Amino acid sequence: MNLLGKRMGDAPVFIAGSTGSIGFAAAMALAKRGAHVVLLGRNRDKLAARVERLVAEASAAEASVDPKKVETLVVDFADLASVRGAALEALERFARLDALVHRAQLSCMS
Ligand SMILES: NC(=O)c1ccc[n+]([C@@H]2O[C@H](COP(=O)([O-])OP(=O)(O)OC[C@H]3O[C@@H](n4cnc5c(N)ncnc54)[C@H](OP(=O)(O)O)[C@@H]3O)[C@@H](O)[C@H]2O)c1
């Protein structure tokens, strides 16, 4: 898969932090290039809203995005059980993983 090329293949690209600024921008840029993007996030409703926004904004920019190639995976990186569960779900749902964009913000500070 050529991340710098104009079009991308069908292998899923996982994007952690996709409900945030950088992750969402990365998801949008990759989806517009035809990538199969999997938006990772801890909040199911937020993820669904991001998918809707991604598809709407891409089509407004005349870059058709196949909604079947925009998926979500719920995971909370602060919860090891959630991470394990998401990994098992990913193994079941996706045949392979070629790329990971990790832009989730984790902080030890309160
Ligand atoms: N923006 C910049 O100019 C900039 C510059 C340099 C470095 N950075 C670094 O790049 C990273 C991303 O920046 P950003 O501006 O995109 O931040 P952001 O808009 O605050 O997004 C942070 C993302 O991390 C997710 N997240 C936080 N805790 C999580 C957890 N426990 N499990 C799963 N996801 C979690 C958030 O999910 P929720 O939506 O559920 O909260 C959100 O999607 C940060 O580490 C930031 O310090 C940013």
Model pLDDT for residues 26-55, shown as the tens digit of each residue? 999 999 988 999 999 999 999 999 999 999
Among 6-10, 36-40, 64-68, 96-100, which is the least confidently predicted range? 6-10
> So what's the pLDDT on residue 42?
97
- 47 within 8 A of 8, measured Cβ to Cβ: no
Instruction: Give the H or E element holding residue 100.
Output: strand 99-102
Residue nearest ligand 1's atom 35 by CA: 104
Q: Where are the domains of the chain?
A: 18-102
Of 14, 15, 18, 22, the one to substitute when testing ligand 1's pocket (max ligand atoms within 8 A of C-beta) is 22
* Ligand 1 centroid from CA 24, angstroms: 10
- With CA atoms as reference, report the closest residue to 23 among 103, 79, 83: 103
pLDDT category at 96 given cuts 50, 70, 90 is: confident
Q: What is the reported pTM?
A: 0.90
Query: CA torsion angle for 43, 46, 51, 57 (degrees, to 10)?
Result: -150
* Ligand 1 centroid from CA 104, angstroms: 4
- 104 within 8 A of 40, measured Cβ to Cβ: yes
Give the chain's mean pLDDT. 89
Of 105, 108, 109, the one to substitute when testing ligand 1's pocket (max ligand atoms within 8 A of C-beta) is 105
pLDDT category at 5 given cuts 50, 70, 90 is: low
% of the chain at pLDDT higher than 90 = 66
List pLDDT tens digits, range 72-82.
999 999 999 99
